Structure 1
Amino acid sequence: MNTPALAVERLTVFHRDQPLVRDIALTIPAGGVLTLLGESGSGKSLLAQAVMGNLPAALHCTGSVHVGGERTDAADQRSRHAGWGRRVALLPQEPWLALDPTMKVRRQVAESYQLVNATRPPAGAAMQLAGRALAGLGLQDAADKYPFMLSGGMAQRVAFLATHAAGAPLLIIDEPTKGLDADRRGEVLDLLLAARAEGMSLLCITHDVWLARALGGRLAVMLEGAMVEQGDAAQVLAAPEHAYTRRLLAAEPAHWPRRPALHRPAQRNVVCVDGVAKAFGDERLFDGVSARFGAGEIVAVSGPSGSGKTTFGNLVLGLLAPDRGSVTRAAGLAPTAFQKIYQDPAAAFAPRITLRTALRDLVRLHRLDWQVLDDLLARMRLSTALLDRLPGQVSGGELQRIALARVLLMKPALIFADEPTSRLDPVTQQEVIALLAEQARAHDCAVMLVTHDADIAHRIADRQIALLKT
């Protein structure tokens, strides 16, 4: 029998004596794929970190991990460090964590070929390989940029290429398609399928049911730290046995009801945008864009990765000035009346203070009601115990919801929501979008919703704006 690429036996991850991930068993055959579905905070990323031997210091685990037939005690996290990149590679959920902010994109991808890949090509050849890989995902224009100059979707693809270039036979990928438009998702899928064709084995962590269906292989569903269903991907998706799996599939945005239209006479405009243009150096993002954002309405903004959606939102907020055109905000509104939900939620929090301290400072500074925050967190099924952790100690989806609660607590006049549910599973995504829409109507808040998901835009927005790369 062929040696499996990965076998996990009775793996449990603890915080002190509390199990966060419980009694996990899974096997990935050589050249095979296992996709993990589940809600944010269910333990998917913790499982990947335990397999890699990269758990946070406050956590420990039991059980065993077999990579390519070599068995290690799961508790011995350090023993697997020597295999990083060469036997198993991990693409983390936040692309920024995988990229060096001081190094240009092509050099970062080339270093994986030159220093980690078993072929060890010379520097010139490694740069050529990196250039071809970037061009294959439509990133040739990003080759000489630094990570901070990239959109979230572009950074995700660059991080994927740098990880894939290492050539490890087992690749763990955490949310590889989040924040990507349909074309870019297809490109990532093609790359994953090509890697499988070359014999690479994949452990894919995702909330993207489309990706799970397209990858095939085996599928496992996690809920509250446990695996509740596992089997052939096509079979599980066609006839799920567990109630949570059925609920997960039913909550895909294509199945959402259409949000009732906003009917208000003489609607007040919060922001009016007239013929704006923006470029950075020689790269022109958009030109001649006009829009209005009315109190209580949701306006969806879509467009391919790199088309300037985040930049356009920053113009609306006043964080950037347009090169041409004008942005007019309603008179009498304080700067705090304009709020942003960041695409990368970690960018919105100080990394070295607890979430509770950060939120208490906000409540005290603006004389807000903490009970309102508690109610918002409860609506999003978040335990207040999470607030005693640092931002890096909660999942990306949990941090994204906490960021949303913080913004809603301010009762702003306009929210720029930049992919606010990109890290959420379909069930939680539907709940959170419904809460955002409800709060917008209740408090006459305009919402500029950046999304790559056409189904979300169609079902939730009052109007849509499409930005195209010029």
Structure 2
Amino acid sequence: MSLIEVEDLRVAFPKAGVQAVRGVSLSIAEGECVAIVGESGSGKSVTARTLVGLTGPGATVTAGRFSVKGRDALRFGQRGWRRLRGRFAGLVLQDALVSLDPLRRVGDEIAEVLAAHDVVPRAGRAAKALELLEAVGVPEPELRARQYAHQLSGGLRQRALIASAIAADPPLLIADEPTTALDVTVQAQILRLLAARKAQGTALLMISHDLAVVSSIADRVLVMKDGVVVEEGPTARVLSDPDDDYTKLLLAAVPSAASRGTRLSAIATGGVSLRTPLPERKVDHGSPVVEVSRLCAAYGPRKVVDDVSFEVHAGETVGIVGESGSGKTTVARLVLGLMTPVSGQVRLNGTPWSTVSERERRPRRSSVQLISQNPLDSFDPRYTVGRLIAEPLGGPSRERRDRVAELLARVGLPADLMTSHPRRLSGGQRQRVAIARALAPQPQVLVCDEPVSALDVSIQAQVLDLLGEIQAADGTALIFISHDLGVVHHISDRVLVMRDGQVVEDGHVDEVFFLPKHDYTRELLGAVPKLVSAEL
């Protein structure tokens, strides 16, 4: 039975002059997973939200047919949609920390859904909330039910959100980027949980930019671009033998071992997506730029980095992988000189860095720059793009302006963005501004902490290509932290695998990923979803 049937769905925002969805048709049956993929702004999320009446204020929705369990959804008012949500469809969004109420305990959050839809009597809601937390694999549910969202790890928060979404036992789950920014093992757990719900007869609508995730769970896939479905069909066929050039470009943009040394932003020629080589990058194997020696760090009594050592040379990329809490970001903070180690040290160009005072470090701070996961959080919201990039620069204002224009051009952005505020830019544009800002003082080392984890596959490809070009031109050393092993294999020369603050395996990226020696490395690699597509 089709739970939802939509024909010729059109969604517009007249005040903004945007037609977000144009002529989309889809159906979702019980026990089926339908995925929608495409770039940011393609209309994926607007389509998904429209199916549960959450399109947003000012939107106009039309369709040739819009049926929910046989009822005409075009006739629903807000009250009708509120009765439907939760009971008919549960919504799982990308950022559980934003979705969950920060002032409410997790158990109370789930109990609210039980109360709103009269699932169980008041006296039984606390017990039912514990049952739901246990059902989604949350350990120690009694403890977690008493905690707030910020006290849980990313994986536990996402499970709590899923527990809330399934509390009224809806026949449909809409999952909008449910595994983005989760490490590979937690991602695998969430996907197993969603697959189990599907096996029990729940229908899934999956929105994702990760084609491997889609490949692992979806029965059918719709590829969207500019509000239009450009290709649809069985997942295995679309992701292994696509018809549309845009689908081919998306597949060519997926990073892997096979894409090393080439641009991910492929060119479509004669129905074929062609990757071109990146500029040659030379690694200086002389004296290292960064030397990390037996580094240990702690937060209070808890040791979070334990006896970590590695080197990074000019022009080299060292990847760091591991689960959340493994110590990756703490290593980055130590290299940046933002934390003082308990023991061991970091040396920069052969000179002590982590063991000296901030006064001694400050003249050399320009040598080490950070590119973070969410640049918007690191930007002063009052500053324009031009002021953000110019901040590390000295000299007369005209020279600074010329240098900002040069940096914007280098990261592929027009000079007229100088007067814009970052909040008005797309995610990809903001990340390019972050790179331009990091390049302004001409650093020797870029520390990249999950710099592409929240970007769709095509924008991710552009950012990774840009980093490759920068390295080839400047000989910049990269420390690249990511939970995406495909990205790390594509960009890195060497890789460190961290667990519980320690490096359990390190070496050349091909050696570690193709011939892992440690059980934990094998566990990480085994958790990576596989794309059914043939290598491009």
| TM-score between both structures, scaled by the size of structure 1 | 0.82
SS at match of 2:40: coil
| Distance (whole Å) between structure 1 residues aligned to residue 117 and residue 204 of structure 2 | 17
Residue 221 of structure 1 deviates from its aligned partner by 0.3
| Distance (whole Å) between structure 1 residues aligned to residue 219 and residue 418 of structure 2 | 34
Structure 1 pair 127/93, CA: closer, same or farther in 2 (3 Å)?
A: closer
Q: Which residue of 2 aligns with 1:318?
A: 337
Structure 1 pair 159/268, CA: closer, same or farther in 2 (3 Å)?
A: same
CA contact (8 A) 1:31 1:199 kept: yes
Structure 1 pair 286/364, CA: closer, same or farther in 2 (3 Å)?
A: closer
Pairing of 1:400-419 with structure 2 (within 5 A):
400-409=431-440, 411-419=442-450
Structure 1 pair 78/341, CA: closer, same or farther in 2 (3 Å)?
A: farther
428, 444, 453: which one aligns with 1:422? 453
Residue 97 of structure 1 deviates from its aligned partner by 1.9
Structure 1 pair 13/384, CA: closer, same or farther in 2 (3 Å)?
A: farther
Structure 1 pair 318/202, CA: closer, same or farther in 2 (3 Å)?
A: same
Aligned residue type for 1:372? E
Flag structure 1 segments of 5+ consecutive residues without an equivalent. none
Structure 1 pair 451/220, CA: closer, same or farther in 2 (3 Å)?
A: same
**Is residue 359 of structure 1 aligned with residue 378 of structure 2?**
no
CA contact (8 A) 1:412 1:445 kept: yes
Structure 1 pair 288/349, CA: closer, same or farther in 2 (3 Å)?
A: same
**Is residue 442 of structure 1 aligned with residue 468 of structure 2?**
no
**Is residue 7 of structure 1 aligned with residue 9 of structure 2?**
no
**Is residue 459 of structure 1 aligned with residue 490 of structure 2?**
yes
Q: Which residue of 2 aligns with 1:24?
A: 24
Q: Which residue of 1 aligns with 2:282?
A: 262
| Distance (whole Å) between structure 1 residues aligned to residue 415 and residue 33 of structure 2 | 33
Pairing of 1:46-125 with structure 2 (within 5 A):
46-55=46-55, 57=57, 60-64=59-63, 65-73=66-74, 80-103=81-104, 106-107=106-107, 110-111=110-111, 114-115=114-115, 119-120=119-120, 122-125=124-127
Q: Which residue of 2 aligns with 1:205?
A: 207
CA contact (8 A) 1:411 1:445 kept: no
Pairing of 1:246-285 with structure 2 (within 5 A):
246-254=248-256, 255-258=258-261, 262-269=282-289, 271-280=290-299, 283-285=302-304
Structure 1 pair 127/46, CA: closer, same or farther in 2 (3 Å)?
A: closer
Pairing of 1:340-359 with structure 2 (within 5 A):
340-349=370-379, 357-359=383-385
Report which stretch shifted further, 413-422 or 188-197. 413-422
Q: Which residue of 1 aligns with 2:307?
A: 288
Residue 228 of structure 1 deviates from its aligned partner by 0.4
Residue 375 of structure 1 deviates from its aligned partner by 2.2
CA contact (8 A) 1:300 1:449 kept: yes
Q: Which residue of 2 aligns with 1:129?
A: 131
| Distance (whole Å) between structure 2 residues aligned to residue 101 and residue 112 of structure 1 | 14
Residue 151 of structure 1 deviates from its aligned partner by 5.7
- Could you list the per-position Cα deviations for residues 38-57 of structure 1 after superposition, in whole angstroms to 9, with x for gaps in the alignment? 12332222323333443455
Aligned residue type for 1:71? D
Report which stretch shifted further, 255-264 or 69-78. 69-78
- Could you list the per-position Cα deviations for residues 284-310 of structure 1 after superposition, in whole angstroms to 9, with x for gaps in the alignment? 433111223333321100012321222
CA contact (8 A) 1:169 1:200 kept: yes
CA contact (8 A) 1:275 1:290 kept: yes
| Distance (whole Å) between structure 2 residues aligned to residue 374 and residue 222 of structure 1 | 29
| Distance (whole Å) between structure 1 residues aligned to residue 218 and residue 294 of structure 2 | 46
Q: Which residue of 1 aligns with 2:317?
A: 298
Q: Which residue of 1 aligns with 2:358?
A: none
| Distance (whole Å) between structure 1 residues aligned to residue 318 and residue 145 of structure 2 | 33
Aligned residue type for 2:468? A
CA contact (8 A) 1:213 1:234 kept: yes
| Distance (whole Å) between structure 2 residues aligned to residue 222 and residue 295 of structure 1 | 41
CA contact (8 A) 1:50 1:61 kept: no
SS at match of 1:467: strand
| Distance (whole Å) between structure 2 residues aligned to residue 397 and residue 163 of structure 1 | 30
| Distance (whole Å) between structure 1 residues aligned to residue 109 and residue 302 of structure 2 | 23
Flag structure 2 segments of 5+ consecutive residues without an equivalent. 263-279, 352-360, 394-399, 502-536
Aligned residue type for 2:404? W
Report which stretch shifted further, 300-309 or 6-15. 6-15
- Could you list the per-position Cα deviations for residues 391-439 of structure 1 after superposition, in whole angstroms to 9, with x for gaps in the alignment? 3x66655544554444345543332222222233433323321211221
Structure 1 pair 397/237, CA: closer, same or farther in 2 (3 Å)?
A: same
Residue 275 of structure 1 deviates from its aligned partner by 2.1
Aligned residue type for 2:71? E
Aligned residue type for 1:359? V
Residue 102 of structure 1 deviates from its aligned partner by 4.2
| Distance (whole Å) between structure 1 residues aligned to residue 446 and residue 140 of structure 2 | 31
Higher Cα Rg: structure 1 or 2? 2
Residue 389 of structure 1 deviates from its aligned partner by 7.0
SS at match of 1:4: strand
CA contact (8 A) 1:220 1:231 kept: yes
Q: Which residue of 1 aligns with 2:187?
A: 185
Structure 1 pair 135/88, CA: closer, same or farther in 2 (3 Å)?
A: closer
Aligned length: 459
Q: Which residue of 1 aligns with 2:233?
A: 231
CA contact (8 A) 1:63 1:74 kept: no
* CA RMSD, Structure 1 to Structure 2 (Å): 3.7
CA contact (8 A) 1:160 1:176 kept: no
| Distance (whole Å) between structure 2 residues aligned to residue 54 and residue 244 of structure 1 | 28
CA contact (8 A) 1:222 1:229 kept: yes
Aligned residue type for 1:70? R
Report which stretch shifted further, 221-230 or 150-159. 150-159
Instruction: State, as a whole percentage, how many aligned pairs show the same letter.
Output: 31
CA contact (8 A) 1:298 1:463 kept: yes
Q: Which residue of 1 aligns with 2:357?
A: none
- Could you list the per-position Cα deviations for residues 40-86 of structure 1 after superposition, in whole angstroms to 9, with x for gaps in the alignment? 332222323333443455x5233144433333349977863443333
Structure 1 pair 268/3, CA: closer, same or farther in 2 (3 Å)?
A: closer
CA contact (8 A) 1:341 1:420 kept: yes
Aligned residue type for 2:412? A
Residue 386 of structure 1 deviates from its aligned partner by 12
Residue 280 of structure 1 deviates from its aligned partner by 3.8
| Distance (whole Å) between structure 2 residues aligned to residue 107 and residue 47 of structure 1 | 31
